[in-house]
């Protein structure tokens, strides 16, 4: 039976003036350890509170719209953080008196734009995945709101924003080499957790704007609206409508719609290129041959001299050439045309971990100057 959003949330229509969640309640923990998925909601009689009760041990809060207006000061422009495919994001602050057991903290409140690129399905996907999957390198979902036509998500606040802003913003402070490796490793751990889950998850929209950074530059994956459960049993892939971000999407996925964990690995390789070069995955402002970062940079990844020419000039040479070469070789593997030739994210982690021991100072140019005996005597 086809799922409709009216069947999942029968009281959420635009003309209905009802809240689709039981207010002032925390979703309770369940004794079951099985994970609920979107495919579980196939009955036309499914109610929103059944969705709430199905989220195992999530401890998500279902906020009222009035509460979210209070903590964001009416979604004040002064609290505006940015806007993506989902909709606008505002900073807010929850004080200790808002809900029993909910600690005082800064939060980011994402408000679904009904005319935007994402919709109800992506909102529900986010609630289901982030409500059940918790990891130190995945952004924490604190709660949500579904009231009338409003769809909002409440996350932990990440002070440094997205990697995209930190890496590409015109007047941003350059990210040091050692920090770039740390970010790459953190993101790899987040992807590995998804791929190795009991029910594997394919992220499908891995990119710099979906990697958020805390005050210590710890990286966390965010925005799971396009995530999909991976193939199970003897299946080799799942087939989906092609979605994602141009420049990051794996070529076989773009051509066939066949989605695998290797599709995420390809996108990860693109991110490594961005960290190495300081260039965006796709930049229409550049000459045609240089607009696609993969097309422009991939051939230089295995040659030290060529690699030096494409490294991010903002680094000013302050990086370990050994670590850069190994990172570039890893990126080349991740970008392999054949999905089966790409490494797993577990292999990526094992490759990157030793590179964190290199400091940010170049080890590329070490010269020895010979001094003849006469010059030595004169000294």
Question: Do 116 and 137 belong to one domain?
Answer: yes
Least confident of 21-25, 97-101, 234-238: 21-25
Q: What is the dihedral of CA 293, 270, 262, 344, to 10 degrees?
A: 140
Helices (H), the chain: 5-8, 48-54, 65-71, 120-132, 163-168, 177-195, 251-256, 261-277, 293-297, 304-310, 321-334, 345-352, 373-378
Q: Predicted confidence band at 243 (pLDDT cuts at 50, 70, 90)?
A: confident
Whether the per-residue pLDDT at 3 is higher than 70: the answer is no
364 within domain boundaries: no
Q: Which residue has the tokens 């080890």?
A: 363
Whether the per-residue pLDDT at 17 is higher than 50: the answer is no
Q: Predicted confidence band at 146 (pLDDT cuts at 50, 70, 90)?
A: confident
Cβ atoms of 101 and 80 closer than 8 Å: no
**Pick the residue with more confidence: 147 or 190?**
190
Whether the per-residue pLDDT at 222 is higher than 80: the answer is yes
Question: Do 273 and 304 belong to one domain?
Answer: yes
Quick one: average pLDDT of 344-362? 86
Question: Do 90 and 217 belong to one domain?
Answer: no
**Best-predicted range by mean pLDDT (110-119, 248-257, 319-328):** 319-328
Domain coverage including residue 131? 5-156
What confidence tens digit (pLDDT) does each residue in 186-195 have?
A: 999 999 999 9
pLDDT score for 235: 64
Cβ atoms of 273 and 300 closer than 8 Å: no
**Pick the residue with more confidence: 199 or 24?**
199
Total domains present in the chain: 2
- Which of 122, 156, 190 is at the close of a domain? 156
Quick one: average pLDDT of 86-107? 90
pLDDT score for 83: 85
Q: What are phi and psi of 284, to 5 degrees?
A: -70, -15
Exposed, middle or buried: residue 122 (CB in 10 Å: 0-12, 13-18, 19+)? buried
Whether the per-residue pLDDT at 32 is higher than 50: the answer is no
Question: Do 182 and 116 belong to one domain?
Answer: no
pLDDT score for 360: 54
CATH label of the domain that carries residue 282: 1.10.510.10
Question: Do 247 and 326 belong to one domain?
Answer: yes
Whether the per-residue pLDDT at 93 is higher than 70: the answer is yes
- Which of 121, 139, 156 is at the close of a domain? 156
Quick one: average pLDDT of 276-284? 96
353 within domain boundaries: yes
Q: Predicted confidence band at 14 (pLDDT cuts at 50, 70, 90)?
A: very low
Q: What are phi and psi of 291, to 5 degrees?
A: -70, -40
Per-position b or e across 93-112, b if 16+ CB within 10 A of its CB: ebeeeebeebeeeebbbbbb
226 within domain boundaries: yes
Question: Do 270 and 123 belong to one domain?
Answer: no
Catalytic-role residue among 113, 115, 148, 205: 205
Question: Do 319 and 204 belong to one domain?
Answer: yes
Quick one: average pLDDT of 137-147? 91
What confidence tens digit (pLDDT) does each residue in 38-92 have?
A: 555 443 333 345 555 655 456 888 899 999 999 999 999 999 998 877 789 999 9
- Which of 156, 185, 217 is at the close of a domain? 156
372 within domain boundaries: no
Question: Do 9 and 146 belong to one domain?
Answer: yes
pLDDT score for 142: 93
367 within domain boundaries: no
CATH label of the domain that carries residue 92: 3.30.200.20
pLDDT score for 110: 93
**Pick the residue with more confidence: 121 or 105?**
105
151 within domain boundaries: yes
Tell me the sheet residues that pair with 146. Answer: 151
Least confident of 117-126, 134-143, 265-274, 330-339: 117-126
371 within domain boundaries: no
Q: Predicted confidence band at 121 (pLDDT cuts at 50, 70, 90)?
A: confident
Cβ atoms of 340 and 262 closer than 8 Å: yes
Question: Do 227 and 114 belong to one domain?
Answer: no
**Pick the residue with more confidence: 171 or 63?**
63
Question: Do 212 and 142 belong to one domain?
Answer: no
pLDDT score for 57: 57
Quick one: average pLDDT of 319-346? 96
Whether the per-residue pLDDT at 372 is higher than 50: the answer is no
pLDDT score for 15: 36
pLDDT score for 376: 43
Q: Could you give the CA distance from residue 5 to residue 110 in angstroms, rounded to a whole number?
A: 20
Helices (H), 169-260: 177-195, 251-256
375 within domain boundaries: no
Question: Do 304 and 172 belong to one domain?
Answer: yes
Q: What percentage of the chain exceeds 90 in pLDDT?
A: 54
Quick one: average pLDDT of 200-219? 95
pLDDT score for 49: 58
Question: Do 96 and 185 belong to one domain?
Answer: no
Quick one: average pLDDT of 121-146? 88
Is 223 among the catalytic positions?
A: no
């Amino acid at each position: 039976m086809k799922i409709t959003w009216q069947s999942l949330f029968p009281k959420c229509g635009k003309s209905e003036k009802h809240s689709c969640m039981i207010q002032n309640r925390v979703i309770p923990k369940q004794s079951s350890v099985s994970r609920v998925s979107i495919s579980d909601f196939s009955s036309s009689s499914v109610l929103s509170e059944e969705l709430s009760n199905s989220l195992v041990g999530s401890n998500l809060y279902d906020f009222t719209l009035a509460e979210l207006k209070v903590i964001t000061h009416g979604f004040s422009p002064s609290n505006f953080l940015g806007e993506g495919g989902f909709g606008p994001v505002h900073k807010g602050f929850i004080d200790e008196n808002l809900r029993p057991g909910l600690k005082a903290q800064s939060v980011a409140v994402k408000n679904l734009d009904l005319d935007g690129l994402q919709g109800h399905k992506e909102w529900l996907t986010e609630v289901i995945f982030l409500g059940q999957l918790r990891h130190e390198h995945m952004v924490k979902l604190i709660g949500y709101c579904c009231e009338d036509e409003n769809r909002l998500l409440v996350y932990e606040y990440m002070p440094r924003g997205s990697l995209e802003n930190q890496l590409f913003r015109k007047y941003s402070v350059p990210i040091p080499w050692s920090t770039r490796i740390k970010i790459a490793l953190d993101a790899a751990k987040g992807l590995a957790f998804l791929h190795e889950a009991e029910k594997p998850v394919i992220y499908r929209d891995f990119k710099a704007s979906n990697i958020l950074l805390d005050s210590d530059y710890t990286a966390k994956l965010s925005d799971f609206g396009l995530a999909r459960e991976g193939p199970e049993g003897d299946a080799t892939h799942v087939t989906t409508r092609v979605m994602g971000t141009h420049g990051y999407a794996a070529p076989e996925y773009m051509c066939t719609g066949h989605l695998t964990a290797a599709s995420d690995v390809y996108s990860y390789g693109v991110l490594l290129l961005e960290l190495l070069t300081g260039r965006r995955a796709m930049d229409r402002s550049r000459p045609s041959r240089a607009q696609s970062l993969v097309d422009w940079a991939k051939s230089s990844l295995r040659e030290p001299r060529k690699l030096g020419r494409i490294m991010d000039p903002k680094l000013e040479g302050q990086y370990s050439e050994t670590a850069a070469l190994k990172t570039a070789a890893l990126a080349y593997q991740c970008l392999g045309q054949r999905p089966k030739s790409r490494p797993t994210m577990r292999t990526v982690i094992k490759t990157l971990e030793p590179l964190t021991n290199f400091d940010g100072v170049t080890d590329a140019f070490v010269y020895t100057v010979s001094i003849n005996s006469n010059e030595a005597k004169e000294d």
